[in-house]
Amino acid sequence: MLELALKGDKKYWGWVIALLAVIGVGFAVYLKQLDFGLGITGMSRDVSWGFYIAQFTFLVGVAAGGVMVVLPKYLHDYKAFGRITILGEFLAIAAVTMCLLFIIADLGQPMRAFNVILYPTPGSVLFWDMIVLNGYLFLNIVIGWNVLEAERNNIHYAKWVKPLIITSIVWAPAIHTVTAFLYCGLPGRGFWMTAILAPRFLASAFAAGPALLILLCLIIRKVTKFDPGKEQIQSLAKIVTYAIIINVFFLLCEVFVVFYSRIPSHMSHLQYLFAGLHGHGALVPWMWTSMAFMATSIVLLVIPATRKHEGVLAFTCVILFLGTWIDKGMGMISGGFVPNPLHHVTEYMPTLPEILITLGVYATGILILTILFKVAVNVKEEVSGVTDSCESC
């Protein structure tokens, strides 16, 4: 099937080459980072995790969000999603690949990464994170490929695939739960040390992932002959609506607990993010933008007229995605490190090299997504017979 990715028009190849160029720049900067060390990033002794780990966290969510099209199809037999489950699975593959790349980019000694397997340490959450992420990647590759191949050959997928699908449905929340456990089990980091962290991660994941899927569906409809379907997009929109409301609700629960109890070691982080602390407040405008985006998206999603209008829905999905990205990709990680355990404030902002490496990883993910979606869409076109290019062969 992969050969389908090798046949494309000029626009397709232009897009691929543009992505390769961004990857090239990112990789060149990464070589510089390998040579110099992580000192080329904005990270510090106090804020020892930065943009890379934040993107990793956000993208685990996007990967897990893919399950929101798989679950209704296989557990509730919601047939309409049958058209787009493959998109959810392939999105998960691209997102998990980016997660793994971000982890590698963040390691001080990446050539020793194999030590995690050589000296397995089940007491470390990072060990489990490695297992669940690689497992989820593997599951989605096997499932996605087999189901799509079967669809192409007009047969039912093999029997052994079904248990894997069920496993992947359980596995999806697990990857984001384990990722939350990386943070929420650490003593002395009041911002993360809350039992609602994993549920909050999942809620934002199930909002951001499907919102991205809606946008991808709209793009696919525009640039290909395959229509993911109006009903499918609307069903996804309802999932996004519930998820983003739950996400904001969980956040407000956290805000209540922290500010009503007024325990400084928990409160100071939220103060830093939303009001600034000891004169430091670089993230304040970002965080309020995030809140405004999420609140606006709730309003636009709850009102049926704006949800059903696909133009407005596209706008809503964009701001929702950005809102959740700022929340997790910028605030969630730095927020936990500021102030530090000794209550000193060292601020963090990513540097240009850090951003270029990040863009390189994103471009890699988008390239994988492009190739996989191209294959999937071409198969869909073939099956439904809308394609005319096949008559020539």
Interacting residue ranges for another protein, rule: CB under 8 A: 36-39, 41, 43-46, 48-49, 103, 106-110, 112-113, 115-116, 118-119, 121, 123-127, 130, 182-183, 186-189, 265, 336-337, 340-344, 346
By the 8 A CB rule, do 272 and 332 touch? no
Judged by beta carbon, residue 65 or residue 190, the one nearer another protein is 190
Kindly state the greatest CA–CA separation across the chain: 72
Q: What is the DSSP string of 51-114?
A: HHHHHHHHHHHHHHHTHHHHHHHHHS--GGGGGTHHHHHHHHHHHHHHHHHHHHHH-SSGGGTT
CA dihedral over 165, 206, 237, 99, signed as positive or negative: negative
- 3-state DSSP percent of the chain in helix, strand and coil, to 5: 75, 0, 20
Closest contact distance (angstroms) between CB of 180 and another protein is: 13
* Shortest CB 50 distance to another protein, Å: 10
CB 106 → another protein: shortest distance, Å?
7
Of 385, 376, 384, 380, the residue nearest 86 (C-alpha)? 376
Q: For 76, which DSSP code?
A: S
Nearer to another protein, 14 or 37 (CB): 37
Q: Which is nearer to another protein, 55 or 378 (CB)?
A: 55
Is 148 strand, coil or helix? helix
Residue 189 CB, shortest distance to another protein, in Å, is: 7
Nearer to another protein, 36 or 256 (CB): 36
Smallest separation, CB 115 to another protein (Å) = 4
Helix-helix angle 352-384:197-223, to 10 degrees: 60
Give whichever of 56 and 81 is closer to another protein, judged by the CB atom: 56
Cis peptide leading into 339, omega within 30 of 0? yes
Beta carbon of residue 52, minimum distance to another protein (angstroms, whole number)? 11
Give the nearest distance from C-beta 263 to another protein in angstroms. Answer: 10
**Do 264 and 272 meet the contact criterion of CB atoms below 8 Å apart?**
no
- Least Å distance, CB 120 to another protein, is 9
Write the DSSP string, 245-261.
HHHHHHHHHHHHHHHHH
Q: For residues 19 and 133, which CB has a smaller minimum distance to another protein in the complex? A: 133
Closer to another protein by Cβ: residue 230 or 344: 344
**389: helix, coil or strand?**
helix
CA dist 154 to 87, 88, 141, 255, Å? 18, 21, 20, 52
With respect to another protein, which residue has the nearer C-beta, 234 or 346? 346
H or E stretch at 159 = none
**Nearest to 109, CA basis, from 38, 45, 174:** 38
